Each structure stands twice: as structure tokens, then as C-alpha cells.
């Protein structure tokens, strides 16, 4: 006995939009799912008694459902002969479409239930590039282990584009540096804080020291992120320099930390970067701790205040189980 791939209990009482080319004689623009369900089971069994038993109903209600469907199609779906039934040409045409429709609906109901419960669906995440060296790998691993049915869409983005994407609803969660101090549309949760390090060419005189002061960099040209991609972080870095008694002489901007480090390696200048940037290993780049280290940079998760997506609390919970809050 053949079995359908869909769950009878999931679809019993729901209405389904039709295929417009089933029949020009249809009286209403929709088919009732109990009728479609009954048709598929009978087409698979080709026996009224067996089909009624599978459906858990008596034969007369089954016959009524089939007749109602045939009335809507405008043609008979079964050839009824003593002791046997078979599909008509119209029935053979309808069967695969009906089976696919019921299977698709059952899959859709399952996906909807998973999304509603926070066990499935899709979550779009923006992340700062430097987090690929800290919390992101562990976060993705933990989240996928807990919620294998969730489709994660991750996009590398700097802070300003992440904030815009959150407001435009093109991402659901941002993992960004130095979130704005006050934003009525967004909520924030601190993920980690970390100190800054100096990024030097290995040939720089200061590379011979274990630690340096920010003031020691006063005579060196700087390579920095453009302020537009992350104003708070840019202001932090330049603010450290100003507090140390000088304004940094910026000779080059680059959007990605990998590029900044490569430009430093080439001897173009020096930089100040979050501690996690030390994970970028380049042969002729030296990272040196700052002593004293005047400030730390904050990484936060950001999401829309009004967003009720149940996957967001699940992601925040997974973040709580990542590496310690500070380095």
C-alpha cells in the first residue's frame, strides 16, 4: 500500500489556491483541502474501502468529497466499474499537481512552526571583520549545533552599513564595534571588550620594544579606517592620539583591517587596532601592547527594538556562551 509524504493532520481544514489551468469550469477560485486530500488517497489506493480506512471516514463521505471535487473540475476524475476504479485523463493530470501541493503545504507548515518556535527559519547576521578572529567561529558552531534547521545568512559589514541594514530590515542582527550611545530604534548587548594594540612594520624602531606608549607614535604616519565606516571607532583611535598630545597624520585609509595591516607591512605607516587584529599573521608586521592602554573597544550585538523574531534571543543566548567578555 503506497503512502503519501504529507501529514494528514496538518492539512485537513485548510483552503488551497488552485492551479488556474485545471478547468475553466471551476465555480470557485479555491479547492477545499479535504477534497484534494481525499482525491489523492483514493488515486493511490484505487479502492474506496481502502481509501476510506486510510482517511478514517466512512465510504459515503469519501464519495461526497470526490463528487464535489469533480463538480469543481467539471469532469470525472475516476472511472467507476464493478469491483474496480481507475483514473480518467483529467484525474491523471490532476494527481501529480495535487500530490506536490499537499507535500509543499505540509513542508511549509513544518517550516512555519519551526520559525514560530525559534527552531527553524532564517536569520541574517552582519558582522565586523575582526570578529572572524574572536567570537564568530564559536558562535556559528554553537548556534548550528543547537538549531540545525535554521538557515544562517552572514554578511561581513562595517559598523555604519550594519546600522543602515538593521534599519532597512536587510539584516536581523548586527555584530558591530562601538555601537551608537543612544538609538531609540535599536537594542544592544555587549559581546566583548578588548584593548588596542599598535600595528607596526617589523622594521620600525618601536618594534624592538615589548610595549609602547601611544605618544611614541607621534612622528609616524598612520593608516586608518575611514571615519565614515565607523565613526565611534575612528574617534576612539584619534582620541587616544589627541590625549597623548598629537593629532595623527593619516596618509592612507582602508576599509578592511587585513588591508590596513598589509599597508603597514609595506612600510606606509602605523596603526592602532583592536587586540583581536593580532590574529592577522603577516611576516613583516609587529603587534605591540600599549602601556598604559588608555581605552578599550566594545563589540555589541544590535537588533531592532520592535523585532519579535524568536531566533534573536536564541542567538544572544549562544553569544553568552562564547569567549570571556574581555581580552
CATH number, domain containing residue 255: 3.40.190.10
Same structural domain for residues 12 and 110?
yes
Predicted pLDDT of residue 322: 67
Compute the CA torsion angle 23, 24, 25, 27 (nearest 10 deg).
100
Q: Is 326 a member of any domain?
A: no
Please compute Rg for the chain using Cα positions: 31
Angstrom distance (rounded) from CA 238 to CA 224: 9
Grid coordinates of 127 = 558582522
Do 186 and 250 lie in a common domain?
Answer: no
Full-model pTM: 0.62
Q: Does residue 253 fall inside a structural domain?
A: yes
| Mean pLDDT, 10 residues at a time, the chain of 327 residues | 42 35 44 86 92 92 92 92 91 92 82 68 90 88 89 92 95 93 90 95 96 97 94 94 97 95 97 94 96 90 93 90 54
> For residue 1, is it within any domain?
no
CATH number at residue 14: 1.10.10.10
What's residue 218's pLDDT? 97
The whole-number pLDDT of residue 83 equals 81
Q: Are residues 72 and 141 in the same domain?
A: no
pLDDT at res. 118: 62
Based on the structure, what is the number of domains in the chain? 3
* Residue 183, in any domain of the structure: yes
Domain contains 3:
no
Instruction: Give 154's strand partners.
Output: 125
- The grid coordinates listed for 302 are 544590535
Omega within 30 of 0 (cis) for the link into 154: no
Q: Which three cell numbers stand for residue 249?
A: 597624520
151 shares a domain with 173: yes
pLDDT value, residue 106: 81
Domain final residue, candidates 117, 150, 183 = 117
In a domain, 2, yes or no: no
What is the pLDDT at residue 30? 60
- Tell me which residue of 117, 147, 132, 162 sits closest to 310, measured CA to CA: 117
Task: For residue 55, tell me if it sits in a domain.
Answer: yes
Predicted confidence at residue 182, as pLDDT, reads 80
β-bridge partners, 167: none
State the Cα–Cα distance between residues 316 and 190, nearest whole angstrom: 10
Last residue of a domain, one of 117, 138, 171: 117
Residues 6 or more apart from 249 whose CB is under 8 A from it?
A: 220, 221, 222
**Which pLDDT value is given to residue 115?**
67
Which of 92, 117, 142 is the endpoint of a domain?
117
Domain extent, residue 216, equals 194-295
For residues 62 and 43, give the distance between their C-alpha atoms in angstroms, rounded to a whole number: 12
Amino acid at each position: 500500500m503506497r503512502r503519501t509524504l504529507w501529514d494528514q493532520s496538518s492539512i485537513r481544514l485548510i483552503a488551497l489556491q488552485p492551479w488556474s489551468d485545471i478547468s475553466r469550469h471551476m465555480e470557485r477560485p479555491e479547492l477545499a483541502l479535504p477534497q484534494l486530500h481525499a482525491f489523492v488517497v483514493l488515486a493511490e489506493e484505487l479502492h474506496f474501502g481502502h481509501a476510506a480506512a486510510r482517511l478514517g471516514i466512512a465510504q459515503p463521505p469519501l464519495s461526497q468529497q470526490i463528487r464535489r471535487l469533480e463538480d469543481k473540475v467539471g469532469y470525472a476524475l475516476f472511472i467507476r466499474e464493478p469491483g474496480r476504479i481507475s483514473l480518467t485523463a483529467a484525474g491523471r493530470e490532476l494527481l501529480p499537481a495535487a500530490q506536490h501541493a499537499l507535500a509543499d503545504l505540509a513542508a511549509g507548515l513544518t517550516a512555519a512552526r519551526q520559525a514560530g518556535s525559534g527552531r527553524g527559519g532564517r536569520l541574517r547576521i552582519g558582522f565586523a571583520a575582526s570578529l572572524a578572529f574572536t567570537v564568530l567561529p564559536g558562535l556559528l558552531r554553537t548556534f548550528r549545533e543547537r538549531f540545525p534547521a535554521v538557515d544562517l545568512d552572514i554578511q561581513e559589514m562595517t559598523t555604519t552599513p550594519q546600522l543602515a541594514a538593521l534599519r532597512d530590515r536587510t539584516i536581523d542582527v548586527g555584530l558591530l564595534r562601538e555601537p551608537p550611545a543612544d538609538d531609540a530604534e535599536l537594542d544592544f548587548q555587549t559581546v566583548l571588550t578588548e584593548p588596542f594594540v599598535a600595528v607596526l612594520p617589523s622594521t620600525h624602531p618601536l618594534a624592538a620594544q615589548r610595549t609602547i606608549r601611544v605618544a611614541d607614535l607621534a612622528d609616524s604616519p598612520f593608516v586608518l579606517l575611514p571615519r565614515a565606516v565607523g565613526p565611534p571607532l575612528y574617534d576612539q583611535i584619534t582620541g587616544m592620539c589627541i590625549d597623548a598630545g598629537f593629532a595623527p597624520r593619516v596618509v592612507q585609509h582602508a576599509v578592511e583591517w587585513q588591508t590596513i595591516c598589509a599597508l603597514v607591512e609595506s612600510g606606509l605607516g602605523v596603526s592602532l587596532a583592536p587586540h583581536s587584529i593580532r590574529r592577522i599573521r603577516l611576516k613583516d608586521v609587529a603587534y605591540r601592547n600599549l602601556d598604559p592602554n588608555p581605552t578599550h573597544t566594545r563589540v555589541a550585538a544590535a537588533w531592532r527594538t520592535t523585532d519579535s523574531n524568536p531566533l534573536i534571543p536564541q542567538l544572544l543566548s549562544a553569544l553568552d556562551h562564547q569567549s570571556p567578555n574581555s581580552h
